[in-house]
Structure 1
Amino acid sequence: MTTSQEELLPGTRRALLHRIAVAQTEGRAPSLVAAVVRGGRTVWHGARTSVDGHGPDENVQYRIGSITKTFTAVLVLRLRDEGLLALTDPLEKHLPGTGAGEATVADLLAHTGGLAAESPGPWWERTPGSLRPELADVLGEQPQLHPVGRRFHYSNPGYTVLGALIEKLRGAPWEEVLRREVLEPLGLDDTSARPRAPHAGGWAVHPWADVLLPEPSENLGRMAPAGQLWSTTADLARFGVFLAQGDERVLSAETVREMRTPAAPVEAADVADGTSYGLGLQIQHRHGRLLIGHSGSLPGFLANLTISIDDDVASVVLANCTSGPPLSTVGADLLRIVAEAEPRIPEPWRPLPEADAAVLELVGPWYWGTYAFALRLTSDGSVALEPLSGSGRRSRFRANGDGTWTGLEGYYAGELLRAVRRPDGAVSHLDLGSFVFTRQPYDEEAPVPGGVDPDGWRGIG
């Protein structure tokens, strides 16, 4: 990835600088650095600092806290893709005796395992990991506070358990596996479990006075997979591109798309906030945009990575203060500034190189009862079923290679779509999970469930 400050218009660059300047000043952050990615490349970097003549650049490390969880989730998905585990596996299958064994791997990734939010004992983020040498020390005597799979309850111990799972199946420390399987392939050379120069120092800012207190920087030990990492805006920008596009050396585009799919039950408060959680990724709706990524905080540091797939824009914001600017809001604002000032230019329309005549025969209008739908052939060879008016069920369908398609989203996710033909080969109707779609509303020539009145359509007279 290269850095180009010239690709954004001057007005856009000034608006981005203004946004982080306001955030650093109003949030009273000793320093704040940010980057914006568009089209797979970093196109802007900015920094504000309280130290004259010493502005941090894109290569200065900050602690990124819970963004570490997304890296841990990537390692777990690699294990799944290699067939070493299934997301439906209970933890007990691989790590027996933890007391949290009913939770599945997917539950832990999505924070639905019912585990406590924090580890028992002293504040784990400000104390050495040597105080919690074993999983039992992290989980405590009663690890589960809620029924498994019933509610989203953010859990740091849950990701500690996932780190232990990785170590068990790989036979190597979490840090070593992460470096070998993710950091090195993606070129994240400035991301590490321990700080390396140049790095920012972590500070607490007094809530009622403009004075500072240095924060301790502890090795989190067993809790490392939940929040240990240090990184830079340059490295997190590269990681953001990977989460949007995938990289076959680490995870496929299909698997990172799975990570971005909501996997946790949504509660009333989450509906109001427009937030949910996937597999190691936070998901939110803001300003009409679907945003994915993760935030992070540890004493002395705040971090945020936000990505808009539709706008092809990502932002990274890092600060070295315990409390301060609302980085999730700042990150979303940086995306919005770029997306609104310089909207994404769509790729030129191009016809398909070829089209299956049997599929072309199916496109066009179809009716489920009196509801009108259109079946379209898309540029990637799949088909999409969309209502022709108003709201209604819609989905894309992936071709299975045998004349059938499987739903990818919404109500029809996982459901089978197939064309049913008459003895002469002509298409009779579409069958979608037992629903019959016909070329005419209640087509009398098709096997409409319940039959069609033989007197046909009529007026009232």
Structure 2
Amino acid sequence: MTAGPPPWPGIDDDTDATAEGGVLGNAGTGRTTSADDEDALRERAARAVAAIDAPDVVFAVSRNGRRTLHCGGSTPHPPVPREDLRYEIGSASKTFTGLLLARLIRRGLLTGGEPAAAWLDPGRRTGASPATLAHLLTHTAGLPTLPADFYRRALPAWRTNPYGRYPAERVVDAFLRHRPRHRPGTRWQYSNFGVAVLGHALAGAAGTAWEELLGTHVLRPLGLDGTALRPEDPKTDAVGHGKDGRTPALAFDAGGFAAAGAVRATPHDLLTFLEAHLDPAGSPLAGALSAVRTPVLRRGLGHRHVHTMAWFRHPTDGGPLYFHSGATLGQQAFLGFRPDTGTALAALCTRRFRSRDAFIATAYALLADQ
């Protein structure tokens, strides 16, 4: 892999531009948490859990390094405590992929400006405006949400495991055959397809399987021993449920879309992941963690929608709030953090809500009010 000029502002700088001034983290908030604050937080977490009608629910909060976990659900307590189960986080996996690319850039192995096709088909000639690694990560590569033939191939397993019917080689082939309607970098469209392709391109660039690449550069440096990319143990893997909240769902098979949605993790691992974002300076991935807090894309009327390499970013009275949600066929997740208050939240449930999504709204509100 080769390096060159970085394609994004701030990506080669350890300064966290998102807070409009220096690095903020657990040690930088200048806040202390009183006993009353902790009691209020526990009460709010308990109310949030009670508001979600799902077999298993976990709201895990870290504030200034102190963790509060509240668990519940509509079913009896499982043999393994809910806080120790490994949950599918779906599209929130993209935050891990974003951090991985930032890590590879920080180490001088990539810039993000490389054409993706160069790593997927080395002998292929690229045009004047190729889709780059940065385009894939920021949903600006001109790709649809899913490949054109995805639905046809997935339909026989639509209610069980549609992604499992679309393996890695088909993802890569669909990308190499795709002709975008718009020049890469000019329009934003959320794309599982694009981030999946990015995962294969990074694996090709490194000459390393995706799972090992993520483990080497993100999971092991952060000590995320309770995080995996596939089902590992039926006793400790949370069981998802369909929209009725009763019908069990099969464990999620991401097929060729691992980089876009394969991560499953324990609540404590997710808090460790988020706490690293709150205090980048204390992490072995300091530069990359600061980079993924830096805005790289603004879109919409008045550029009101702000994105970083890994997170959606919303303003609050005290500073920016970062978040990403995700879902599989039977589970949902919400991850977010606020550097101004030193607060991180990992919310998880084992039910897929398909309308009037109280889960995401409840999780977002809990973080926004901290």
Q: Same fold (TM over 0.5)?
A: yes
Aligned-pair CA distance for 1:150: 1.6
Q: Which has the higher helix share?
A: 2
Matched, 1:330 2:355: no
Q: Residue in 1 aligned with 2:263?
A: 229
| Distance in 1 separating the partners of 2:259 and 2:252 | 14
Matched, 1:115 2:143: yes
Q: Residue in 2 aligned with 1:63?
A: 88
CA contact (8 A) 2:102 2:291 kept: no
Q: Residue in 2 aligned with 1:199?
A: 237
Q: Residue in 1 aligned with 2:29?
A: none
| Distance in 1 separating the partners of 2:72 and 2:302 | 34
Q: Residue in 1 aligned with 2:4?
A: none
Q: Residue in 1 aligned with 2:252?
A: 218
Q: Residue in 1 aligned with 2:56?
A: 31
Where 1:181 maps in the other structure, the secondary structure is helix
| Per-residue Cα deviation, 1:405-437 (whole angstroms, up to 9, x for no partner) | xxxxxxxxxxxxxxxxxxxxxxxxxxxxxxxxx
CA contact (8 A) 1:301 1:318 kept: yes
Change (3 A) 1:98 1:21: farther
| Distance in 2 separating the partners of 1:201 and 1:170 | 34
| Distance in 2 separating the partners of 1:141 and 1:98 | 13
Q: Give the residue type in structure 2 aligned to 1:44.
A: T
2:291 aligned residue (237, 258, 268): 258
Q: Residue in 2 aligned with 1:185?
A: 221
Matched, 1:131 2:166: yes
CA contact (8 A) 1:35 1:42 kept: no
Relative to the length of structure 2, the TM-score reads 0.77
Alignment of 1:139-150 (within 5 A): 139=175, 141-142=177-178, 144-150=180-186
**Larger deviation, residues 244-253 vs 177-186:** 244-253
Where 1:329 maps in the other structure, the secondary structure is helix
| Distance in 1 separating the partners of 2:125 and 2:264 | 29
| Distance in 2 separating the partners of 1:269 and 1:190 | 41
Aligned-pair CA distance for 1:75: 1.8
Matched, 1:293 2:323: yes
Aligned-pair CA distance for 1:163: 0.8
Aligned-pair CA distance for 1:160: 1.1
Gap runs ≥5 in structure 2: 1-31
Alignment of 1:354-393 (within 5 A): none
| Distance in 2 separating the partners of 1:30 and 1:160 | 30
Q: Residue in 2 aligned with 1:48?
A: 72
Aligned-pair CA distance for 1:199: 2.2
| Per-residue Cα deviation, 1:283-338 (whole angstroms, up to 9, x for no partner) | 1225664111321111111111111111111111011111175444333333345x
| Per-residue Cα deviation, 1:40-81 (whole angstroms, up to 9, x for no partner) | x24211111112344844321110111211111222122222
Q: Residue in 2 aligned with 1:310?
A: 340
| Distance in 1 separating the partners of 2:125 and 2:346 | 36
Aligned-pair CA distance for 1:151: 2.3
Where 2:275 maps in the other structure, the secondary structure is helix
Q: Which has the higher strand share?
A: 1
Matched, 1:239 2:269: no
Alignment of 1:387-406 (within 5 A): none
Q: Residue in 1 aligned with 2:301?
A: 268
CA contact (8 A) 1:203 1:320 kept: yes
Change (3 A) 1:250 1:111: farther
Instruction: Kindly name which structure, 1 or 2, has the bigger radius of gyration based on alpha carbons.
Output: 1
Q: Give the residue type in structure 1 aligned to 2:140.
A: T
Number of paired residues?
A: 323
Where 2:321 maps in the other structure, the secondary structure is strand
Q: Which has the higher contact order (CA 8 A, sep 6+)?
A: 2
CA contact (8 A) 1:116 1:143 kept: no
| Distance in 2 separating the partners of 1:270 and 1:58 | 39
CA contact (8 A) 1:167 1:174 kept: yes
Aligned-pair CA distance for 1:16: 3.8
CA contact (8 A) 2:240 2:249 kept: yes
CA contact (8 A) 1:91 1:105 kept: yes
Gap runs ≥5 in structure 1: 1-6, 340-461
CA contact (8 A) 2:172 2:200 kept: no
